[in-house]
Structures are given as structure tokens and as C-alpha cells.
């Protein structure tokens, strides 16, 4: 029964969505430096935000029971070298993860990788990869305030000592004083395994490749930039996030002025327990028309 | 959903992946009649594995006082409540639903998501009895008022809910020993495993932002040694070995002998459907209804079997082998008053007398001409 309802939702969404986005989003050409993040830049006022309809991710469990983010407002500009996206969506609270059981607000854009091939919308498929830029409020906190230590996450916590950290200014043990951070991190399994989750997110945004659900892997040293701000609006609140990327990201997606590509979007409301597959997504690729340079 | 065989429920059940039993299956048997709640196992585990950042409140091994104690808060009650009333007739296959079968189509398993504060009291309810033993009361079996200690590790389930729920397939079950591990390099900290594991033995590390769990002391197991919680158990209530499904049970395998041959130990909350691989000799003094809820309808029978050990030298021999060696016992035998343990190659690890020789120490020391006393 549930499957039938989902199928019906998906079909009606596709019919409706296709009509709405037949023309696609236009990436307007501007002359400003887009590698610098500026959420209030004047050019944003000249680009009409397009409304993108999202739906609770319906394909794989665990999935959300209802669509928490129905609308995502998107603006796109480029300057021939860089492309910038400005997102806006309603979210009544700012969620930056941290403690156990708390998740982060987030937004992601997905691009096809291979030219002239549109991969399956749900994060691609084997040999049909997608390229993703994933901004998280949690990563942004990293960028602004540094990697979140236990003391940052739990300001009132107290801990006698961690392994190899008992050397202090009064210690006479020269051996212990020489112990490096790397040696201490042997006891921090995420870090010692080299998991990108366990290190500071300097850019506030992750660049990833994926070949299907659950297969995303982070590309090191991304050139993308991101900045977000949550603001209260009456009883509601909203996120405004800018993600900027070079048009050509080697090893990822290559966009060119005057050409057409595709995008897909996803939004997570961390405060409502959304994480991973629990997200609101676009169900069809949204055409991206990149204006030629003037 | 695939259909898999769950021998603990004596029936087929639904599970997201096909049945694939490992070559060997890690298992621990705990004798709850002997646990004194000293937490040496918890500390052995803590100092070995979870002394780092983000693991301050993380206990892969914990001992909780039942019925009031729990870690995280009320995990058992909340999981059972979510699953709802299910029925299981004695000597019949389980007729209720498992956490996989009762799950909403949007989820992999029936679950609840413990919050931060739920993990903050690792020994909540310690030593709390079900009621006061007031004037005129006397001890009966089972006791009117009772509690018992429940030591718990990850059960390295045959059908792990954590593994089923991980959208990144970052959790895997090892072919060689059935140990379930979270790939520390691939986990993205979605905490789906923390939500899905009904026993709440997947835990989130807020410092590394990935989830962690009991690793079954796999480096020790690979060397033929038992896990640290077992090696350090001063009450000698535990034995770690490899369990076979009942159709392959071997009488000289200590775990098979206790679980299958003698039916002295039962899995806990088998009705959840994970085929957990930690087994308990139920405490004979605790409330039967409570024990049936925790260990299934065979409890009465198992307790009766336990009472018969006094006339069973082989089982007595196996019980004295518990805690007598750090090595994994693959095979045992009892003959002429001695219990023998053997490793995987068949070499003898240890020999233990089933009954310790008795020496009577007279109060008068003839040789020294003095009275012996116990003053150190």
C-alpha cells in the first residue's frame, strides 16, 4: 500500500515538475569576482530566485516520513571562471550537530560528470558518477570557529586525562612532553583511519563523487567555497547559503559558458532528525543553462 | 527483503540481506548467577578501547542492574514498547514480529533514537532491588524481591540491525569470525546504526563524528585469545568461543555444549530477531515473567537444567574451565575428575580439577607448636 502511494506521489511529482522546469535555471553572466563569498552582493538582487519543489526522499529506507522542506529558492550566476549559487529555504531552527543524536542543517547540489550523459538522479549509478557539493552548518562552524573539540561541544564537561595527554607544565617527564599530536591520535579511530569526517572542514563545504546511494566519497582539497547564514523571520527562520565553484572542477564536473548542464538538489533539516538518506530532494534533473559571456 | 533462517525463533524471518553465516561465529556465554556487578569487565574494555576523545561516556561493555538499570536510559523498555505486544508460545516458533518485520516501510527496523542525556548515566539504577525486604519476609526461589546484574557487550548478531540500517554499507560482518565492525574510514556519522540497534550497542563519537562499537577484541581473537572483558572477569562468569547453528552443533565445543547440547544458556531478547550471539545462563532467583520477556519461553526449562548440574560432572568441568584460561577454547573434555581445554589446533591449553582437593587446616600447628589464626 505504502509503495503504491509513493509511486503515485512520484508520478504526479514528475508530471508536474517536468512542466515547471522544462526551461531550467539560467546561470546569469556577471562580471563580479565570484570566488569571494558575498551573500548580500548587489548582483543577487538582479537575479530572480527560481522555486524548486522538493519531496521527501522516497527511494531507499531509512527515509523521512514527510517532506520537511518543500521549497528551495535558487539563484545562479557565473563569470566565465566561477559559478555561484545562492540558496534559501525555511528552517525554524539553526542546527549545527555536535552532541549525540543531533544533526546538521545542510544543502547539496549534484552535477552529472560525463558529458552528454545524465546519470540516475539518485546519486548516480555504477559507471555513471555524479559530482556533489555538500554544505553543512556543522562544517561552516568548523570553518568559522575551528574543529569542534569535546570542550566546545560540551562546555561543562570535565575529564581527568586522555591517553598521552597527562604531561603538563609541572611534569618532569621529558618523554611525555615530546609526544606529538599524531601519536595521540592513534587513540582517535576516525582520525587514525583518515576519515574526512574527523578533520576540520576548512571550506565549510565538501566536494564528493558518488556512484549510487551511500557511495559518496570526499575529494580532498576542494576548490569550492561556501558561506551560510541563518536568520530569524518572525516565528519562522530561514537559511541563506552561497556555494561557489570554479566552472571547471577537474576530476568532477566541467561546466562551460554557453552550454547546458543539469543539477539536482537536496536539503536536510538537522533539527528534525534529517541526516543521510533522510532528506528532501528534487526528483528530476533541473536543466542548467549557462549564459554565454557578453 | 530476503527470507532467512533464525534458529533462535525456530522460523524463517525477513531481513534486508540474504542469509550468509560466517565460517565461525564469535559468541560469549555469561552465567548470570555468578555476576557480582564489579564492573571489572567494563573497565578492562574501557582502558583497552574507549579512553580517547569523544568516548568519555562510551561503554562498549557495561553491566546494568536489572530490572531498573539501563544504559542508555531505558533502552530495553523503549525498544519493547516500540515493538508492541508480541506472542510466543512455549515449544513453538515465535509467532510475533521481529524488529525487521514490524518496521514501517520507511525504516529498516523498529527503533528509537536515544538522545544525548540518555547516555549520561552509565550505571543508573545500580543495585536497586524491585522492592524492600521488610519484616517477616524470608527467601524463596524465585525471590519476591530481586535484582540481577546483566553484563552486556555487542552481540555480533547473525542479523545485525546496525548493518541493515547503514545507508553507506559501512558496517560489515567478518567472514572469519562473525565479528561486526564499523569501517572507521567510511562511516559518515549518520547514526542510523545507533537508532537501529535495539540493544543500543552502536555509539556515536561526537569528536570524530563517526559511530563506533564493540570490536569483539578482534586483534586478541585473531591471536586465539578471548576478549579483554572475558579475560579480566574476576567472577569467572564468562566464556568466549565460537557457536555453531544447532544443525552443526558440536558436543565438545564449549559454547555449543552450553547453548545447544545442555540448553543452559539463552540469547537475550531473541524476539527482536537479530539472532544475537551473547548467551546468558538465567538467574534462578529472578521473577520468571521478567526472565521470559528477556530470554524467551524456554527459561523455566533452562533453569531446571541448571539445577541439575550438581549431578553432572561434565558440565561442572566446563564451568570450571570458564575463567581458567585467556585462550579461546575450541574443544573441551572432562575425564577422571579433570577438565581439559584445547585450542584450534587441538593442543591442550589447560587442565583444571573439576573439584579442588580439600585440605583441612587444623587450628593447632604441631610443627611450630602454635595456634593458627587468620590474622595476617
Q: Domain with B272 in it: what CATH number?
A: 3.30.70.20
Q: Please report which confidence band the pLDDT of residue B376 belongs to, taking 50, 70 and 90 as the band edges.
A: low
**What span, in angstroms and rounded, lies between the C-alpha atoms of B138 and B319?**
30
**What span, in angstroms and rounded, lies between the C-alpha atoms of A224 and A207?**
7
Residue among A61, A100, A276 minimizing CB distance to B116: A100
Direct distance between the N- and C-terminal alpha carbons of chain B, in angstroms, rounded to an integer: 66
Whether the CB-CB separation of B289 and B297 falls below 8 Å is answered with: no
CA distance B48 to chain A (A): 10
Going from N- to C-terminal start, the domains of chain A cover 12-112+225-290
Write out pLDDT tens, residues B89-105: 999 999 999 999 999 99
For residue B56, tell me if it sits in a domain.
Answer: yes
The CATH class for the domain spanning A12-112+225-290 reads mainly beta
More confident residue, B213 or B131: B213
H or E, element range at B90: none
Q: Answer yes or no: is pLDDT of A241 > 50.
A: yes
Q: Answer yes or no: is pLDDT of A159 > 90.
A: no
Q: Please report which confidence band the pLDDT of residue A293 belongs to, taking 50, 70 and 90 as the band edges.
A: confident
Write out pLDDT tens, residues B33-74: 999 999 999 999 999 999 999 999 999 999 999 999 999 999
Averaged pLDDT for residues A235-261: 95
Q: Does B308 touch chain A (CB under 8 A)?
A: no
Percentage of residues of chain B with pLDDT beyond 90:
94
**What 3-state class would DSSP assign to B152?**
strand
Q: What are phi and psi of A143, to 5 degrees?
A: -65, -40
Sequence-distant (6+) residues with CB within 8 A of B12 are: B3, B4, B5, B6
Averaged pLDDT for residues A261-269: 97
Q: Does B184 touch chain A (CB under 8 A)?
A: yes
Length, in residues, of chain B: 376
Chain A CA closest to residue B58 = A100
Across the A:B interface, residue pairs with CB atoms under 8 Å apart total 119
Q: Please report which confidence band the pLDDT of residue B218 belongs to, taking 50, 70 and 90 as the band edges.
A: very high
**What 3-state class would DSSP assign to A177?**
helix
| Average pLDDT of the residues of chain A | 90
For residue B301, tell me if it sits in a domain.
Answer: yes
Whether the CB-CB separation of B175 and B23 falls below 8 Å is answered with: yes
For residue B338, tell me if it sits in a domain.
Answer: no
Chain B CA closest to residue A188 = B52
Q: Answer yes or no: is pLDDT of A286 > 60.
A: yes
> Residue B99: how many CB atoms within 10 A of its CB?
25
CB contact under 8 A, B106 and A60: no
For residue B323, tell me if it sits in a domain.
Answer: no
Q: In the numeric block, which cell numbers belong to residue A118? A: 545524465
For residue B314, tell me if it sits in a domain.
Answer: no
Grid-cell match 575463567, residue found: B323
Residue A17: per-residue pLDDT:
45
Give the β-pairing of B238-242 and B26-31.
antiparallel
Give the β-pairing of A286-290 and B210-213.
unpaired
Overall number of domains in chain B: 1
User: Which residues constitute the domain of residue B69?
Assistant: 2-131+144-305
Residue A177: per-residue pLDDT:
73
Length, in residues, of chain A: 294
Residue A179: per-residue pLDDT:
81
Residue B144: per-residue pLDDT:
93
Question: Chain A contacts of B208, Cβ < 8 Å?
Answer: 188-191, 195, 197-198
CA distance B13 to chain A (A): 19
Amino acid at each position: 500500500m505504502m509503495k503504491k502511494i509513493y509511486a503515485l506521489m512520484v508520478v504526479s511529482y514528475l508530471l508536474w515538475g517536468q512542466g515547471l522546469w522544462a526551461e531550467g535555471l539560467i546561470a546569469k553572466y556577471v562580471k563580479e569576482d565570484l570566488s569571494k563569498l558575498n551573500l548580500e552582493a548587489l548582483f543577487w538582487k538582479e537575479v530572480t530566485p527560481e522555486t524548486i519543489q522538493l519531496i521527501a526522499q522516497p527511494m531507499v529506507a531509512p527515509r523521512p516520513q514527510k517532506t520537511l522542506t518543500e521549497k528551495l529558492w535558487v539563484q545562479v550566476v557565473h563569470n566565465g571562471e566561477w559559478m555561484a549559487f545562492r540558496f534559501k529555504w525555511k528552517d525554524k531552527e539553526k542546527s549545527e550537530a555536535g552532541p549525540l543524536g543531533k544533526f546538521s542543517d545542510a544543502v547539496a547540489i549534484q552535477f552529472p560528470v560525463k558529458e552528454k550523459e545524465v546519470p540516475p538522479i539518485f546519486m548516480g549509478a555504477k559507471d555513471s558518477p555524479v559530482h556533489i557539493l555538500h554544505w553543512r552548518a556543522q562544517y561552516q562552524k568548523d570553518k568559522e570557529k575551528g574543529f569542534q573539540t569535546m570542550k566546545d561541544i560540551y562546555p561543562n564537561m570535565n575529564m581527568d586525562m586522555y591517553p598521552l595527554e597527562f604531561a603538563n607544565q609541572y611534569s618532569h617527564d621529558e618523554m611525555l612532553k615530546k609526544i606529538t599530536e599524531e601519536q595521540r591520535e592513534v587513540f582517535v579511530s576516525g582520525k587514525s583511519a583518515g576519515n574526512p569526517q574527523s578533520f576540520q572542514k576548512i571550506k565549510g563545504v565538501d566536494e564528493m563523487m558518488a556512484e549510487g546511494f551511500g557511495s559518496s566519497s570526499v575529494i580532498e582539497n576542494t576548490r569550492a567555497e561556501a558561506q551560510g547564514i541563518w536568520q530569524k523571520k518572525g516565528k519562522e527562520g530561514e537559511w541563506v547559503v552561497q556555494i561557489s565553484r570554479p566552472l571547471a572542477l577537474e576530476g568532477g564536473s566541467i561546466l562551460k559558458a554557453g552550454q547546458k548542464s543539469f543539477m539536482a538538489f537536496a536539503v536536510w533539516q538537522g533539527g528534525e532528525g534529517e541526516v543521510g538518506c533522510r532528506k528532501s530532494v528534487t526528483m528530476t534533473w533541473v536543466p542548467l543553462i549557462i549564459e554565454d559571456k557578453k | 527483503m530476503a527470507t532467512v533462517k533464525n534458529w533462535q525463533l525456530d522460523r524463517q524471518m525477513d531481513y534486508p540481506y540474504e542469509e550468509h553465516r560466517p565460517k565461525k561465529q564469535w559468541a560469549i556465554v555469561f552465567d548470570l548467577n555468578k555476576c557480582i556487578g564489579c564492573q571489572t569487565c567494563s573497565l578492562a574494555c574501557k582502558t583497552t578501547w574507549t579512553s580517547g576523545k569523544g568516548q568519555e561516556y562510551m561503554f562498549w561493555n557495561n553491566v546494568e542492574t536489572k530490572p531498573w538499570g539501563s544504559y542508555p536510559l531505558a533502552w530495553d523498555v523503549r525498544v519493547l514498547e516500540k515493538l508492541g505486544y508480541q506472542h510466543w508460545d512455549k515449544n513453538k516458533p515465535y509467532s510475533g514480529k521481529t524488529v525487521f518485520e514490524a518496521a514501517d516501510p520507511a525504516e529498516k527496523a523498529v527503533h528509537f533514537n536515544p538522545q544525548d542525556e540518555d547516555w549520561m548515566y552509565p550505571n543508573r539504577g545500580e543495585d536497586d532491588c524491585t522492592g524492600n525486604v521488610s519484616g517477616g519476609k524470608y527467601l524463596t526461589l524465585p525471590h519476591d524481591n530481586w535484582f540481577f546484574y546483566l553484563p552486556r557487550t555487542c552481540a555480533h548478531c547473525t542479523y545485525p540491525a546496525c548493518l541493515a540500517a547503514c545507508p553507506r554499507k559501512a558496517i560489515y560482518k567478518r567472514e572469519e569470525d562473525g565479528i561486526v565492525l564499523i569501517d572507521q574510514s567510511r562511516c559518515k556519522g549518520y547514526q542510523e546504526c545507533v537508532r537501529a540497534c535495539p540493544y543500543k550497542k552502536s555509539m556515536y563519537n561526537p569528536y570524530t563524528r563517526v559511530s563506533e562499537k564493540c570490536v569483539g577484541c578482534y586483534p586478541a581473537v585473531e591471536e586465539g585469545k578471548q576478549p579483554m572483558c572475558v579475560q579480566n572477569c574476576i567472577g569467572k562468569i564468562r566464556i568466549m568461543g565460537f557457536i555453531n547453528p544447532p544443525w552443526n552443533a558440536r558436543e565438545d565445543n564449549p559454547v555449543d555444549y552450553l547453548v545447544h547440547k545442555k540448553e543452559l544458556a539463552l540469547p537475550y531478547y531473541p524476539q527482536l530477531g537479530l539472532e544475537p550471539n551473547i548467551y546468558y545462563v538465567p538467574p534462578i532467583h529472578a521473577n520468571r515473567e521478567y526472565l521470559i520477556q528477556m530470554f524467551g519461553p524456554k527459561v523455566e526449562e533452562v533453569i531446571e537444567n541448571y539445577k541439575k548440574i550438581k549431578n553432572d560432572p561434565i558440565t561442572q568441568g566446563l564451568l570450571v574451565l570458564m575463567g581458567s584460561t585467556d585462550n579461546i577454547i575450541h574443544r573441551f573434555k572432562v575425564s577422571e575428575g579433570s577438565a581439559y581445554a584445547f585450542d584450534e589446533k587441538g593442543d591442550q591449553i589447560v587442565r583444571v580439577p573439576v573439584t579442588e582437593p580439600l585440605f583441612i587446616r587444623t587450628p593447632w600447628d604441631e610443627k611450630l607448636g602454635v595456634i593458627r589464626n587468620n590474622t595476617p
